[in-house]
A and B are shown apart, each in its own frame.
Chain A
Amino acid sequence: MCGIAGTAGRFANDDSIKTVMRSMIETLHHRGPDGYGFFYDSGIAFAHARLAIIDLQTGDQPISNEDGSVTVIFNGEIFNFVELRAELERAGHRFSTRSDTEVIVHLYEDHGLEFVQRLNGQFAIALWDARLRRLILARDRVGIRPMFYSVVRGRIWFASEIKALLAALPEIGRLDPFGVTQALTFWSPVDPATAFQGVESLPAGTVLEFREGQPVQIQRFWDWDFADESEDPEPDVDAIAAELRELLIDSVRLQLRADVPVGAYLSGGLDSSGIVSLIRSFTSAPLRTFSIAFEDSEFDESEHQRAMVDYLRTDHTTVRCENLDIGRAFPRLVYHAETPLVRTGPVPLMLLSARVRAEGYKVVLTGEGADEVFAGYDIFKEAKIRRFCARQPDSKMRSSLLRRLYPYLASSPVASAAFAKTFFSQGMEFIARPIFAHVPRWNTSRRACNFLSDEWRSATSKWDPLSWMDSQLPARVAQWSPLGRDQYVEAKTLLAGYLLSSQGDRVAMANSVEGRFPYLDHRVVEYAARLPSRLKLRVLQEKHILRLAFRGLLPDEILQRGKQPYRAPDSKCFFQGGQALDYVEDLLSAQRIRSAGYFDASSVGRLVDKCRAGRAVGFADNQAFVGILSTMVIDELFVRRNQSMGSVPPNWTD
């Protein structure tokens, strides 16, 4: 795990480029505190910040091939490097290190751009081919590791985080109304968009090629691909469950590869408990687990966590998170996430990774991804019920199914059945479109856009997020089952843009910790995507096939437990005794809102009053509040460039 940065194009190879590279890589120190490495040649400069996990002695980067014509820097892990190395050595390649990085160099020599197909891992790679004078950037299949780039005056700049680009390119530090609107609607900008003008995110599963004087070319090498609606043979469920278990065991085995100890997160739910039970049952790795507990009982899962710790006998640490911890650490989260956020959920995970690191761990396995791969989220169930209701809109029995959703919410949208039916029947006109499942969620989120200033609203007024999202989807989406379509949209928006980024890579790397996600091994993703929908969502039981795969490994109470989505308290974290935290008061003051120009000061003032009075109970208000505040924190940190706020320690008190 690491941070990378660099540039390619026409420039003088003198001391000034070295100064710029150093200033870029120093912004990524948290990603790689174990040392910097640099590479300079005609028209190319690479910088690398290393977090040493594999090959602690000789794994420094950049790494080149035998004759120095191919040089690579890379952030992430190639889990199958042992197998790849053996194969490459048989083909005559000589290795000078024991690292996973070196296999990339030799694979590229043999396979060219196809090298990415051979990698099982989570990666953001920059590779310089001196013979062809081309720069290659590649990003893993589902978007676990980040890669941003800017093309400025014919030259490309890239980095693991946007802050490194801002260090080299002062001219790009402006917020983009479309990127911000996407974040407020979809919970994050959707690749390739970012919140910043002139900065792009390399889409997951693609390879970028840059040659001086030519336009950037991007090729997709992988995508989620689901079973067709018609493809639904009678499955042998037991055989599939057994096969899936074997696949998961192998994924965990590969992902435990490291030359440092590996820990795991344990949320108390099926997904993380499953991973920990696989480590317990099928490897000899010691079990060290970590979890979050909340002051607020609506969000707390400690009872289930304790049950799993007792059952699996792990050495466990719980980090207890109070509401004010979240409010105080929020600027630091935004500093790392570099995007407007509509939820505070990433903050506790940032506090958790600090504890993981303090306990001496650099790597954790987590259950992230299972809900996308095996259809665990309520949004999939909700869509199934809404499609079912649409066939018989007057059936009372059908709409009463809606009351079975969301039993865990204190202020449930289905508390009133008549209204639940009214709300969930909204958006029925989208029933034939792949975004059908997501329309209710996005309509709630985009209420935050009502707070935009007149200027920003008119800048985005012709942009319809729903049609835009449709236009981003591949043509074959229409052949997939409805569940497959819903899963695809979820994978491209919430998973890649938010859960793996703001709530994944960024909050772990904030404390120099690497997350690993066995459910996102592409073999698991591909296997699950081809399964019939009813093996994932069986009637209204989510992740059915995963529960079957874990039979005998987990206690029945976990196997049968319904999904409790991970959430954290929102607007209430920013107020104490009726007063906003100092920085919140400052950033959301009418004067500050007006001078930034993104939002309407008087409506923001009314929202703040509502939150201050503790009357903001619904998602829409809370998301708008967090979205506005995070945008203003970005303004402070990256537009005004006053970074003292983001570097405050998590226990900072104002």
Chain B
Amino acid sequence: MDELQQVRNFILKNFLFSEDEGSLSNEGSLIASGAIDSTGVLELIMFIEETFQIKVDEEEMIPDNLDSVEKIIAYVHRKSVSKG
């Protein structure tokens, strides 16, 4: 499974409790759409760290890195490159 689908599956199952792919867009804000709430951010960070074997630093815990499927993928790519 590619990274995009892994992230989408996690958000669908874990926050939206749904299998309906149409209920989650890649570009929309997860917070504004109500997909994740405040503690959801912590769950999301744990998922990213476990799944992609990266460490999310405190200063990186910002909406610009984490507030949409696209932003998460871009962030994970940047981290993986810098790590590699």
Contact = CB atoms under 8 A, between A and B. Distances in A.
| Same complex origin of A and B | yes
Interface of A: 411-416, 418-420, 422-423, 426, 443-444, 447, 450-451, 602-604, 606-607, 610, 615, 617-620
Given A603-B17, A603-B18, A606-B17, A443 B34 contact: yes
Interface residues on B, range: 20 to 34
B31 interface: yes
A418 B31 CA distance: 12
7 tightest Cβ-Cβ pairs between the two chains A and B: A618-B39, A413-B38, A603-B17, A416-B61, A418-B62, A606-B17, A423-B38
B3 interface: no
Given A450-B17, A451-B17, A620 B63 contact: no
A425 to B, nearest CB: 10
A617 B43 contact: yes
Contacts of A603: 17-18
Given A603-B18, A619-B37, A415 B42 contact: yes
B31 A426 contact: yes
Contacts of A411: 39, 42
B41 interface: yes
B59 to A, nearest CB: 9
A418 B61 CA distance: 7
B35 to A, nearest CB: 10
B37 A444 contact: yes
A419 B41 contact: yes
**Which of B14, B17, B61, B67: most chain A CB closer than 10 A?**
B17
A412 B37 CA distance: 11
Contacts of A420: 38
18 contacts: A411-B42, A413-B39, A414-B38, A416-B41, A419-B31, A419-B41, A422-B67, A423-B38, A426-B32, A444-B37, A606-B13, A606-B18, A607-B17, A617-B42, A617-B43, A618-B42, A619-B37, A620-B39
Interface in B50-84: 58, 61-63, 66-67
Contacts of B40: 618, 620
Nearest to A414: B38
Interface string B11-25: 001101111000000
Contact of B39 (A418, A607, A619): A619
Given A423-B31, A618-B38, 14 more contacts: A411-B39, A413-B39, A416-B62, A418-B63, A419-B31, A419-B63, A419-B66, A447-B37, A451-B17, A606-B17, A606-B18, A607-B17, A617-B43, A618-B42
A-side interface mostly: helix
B62 A618 contact: no
Interface of B: 13-14, 16-19, 31-32, 34, 37-43, 58, 61-63, 66-67
B39 A447 contact: no
B34 A447 contact: yes
B53 to A, nearest CB: 19
Given A413-B38, A423-B31, A450-B17, A618 B43 contact: yes
Contacts of A619: 37, 39
Given A411-B42, A418-B62, A447-B37, A615 B14 contact: yes
Contacts of B37: 413, 423, 444, 447, 618-620
Contacts of B42: 411, 415-416, 617-618
Contacts of B39: 411-413, 617-620
A420 B62 CA distance: 10
Contacts of A610: 14, 17
Nearest to A607: B17
Nearest to B32: A426
A401 to B, nearest CB: 16
A42 B41 CA distance: 64
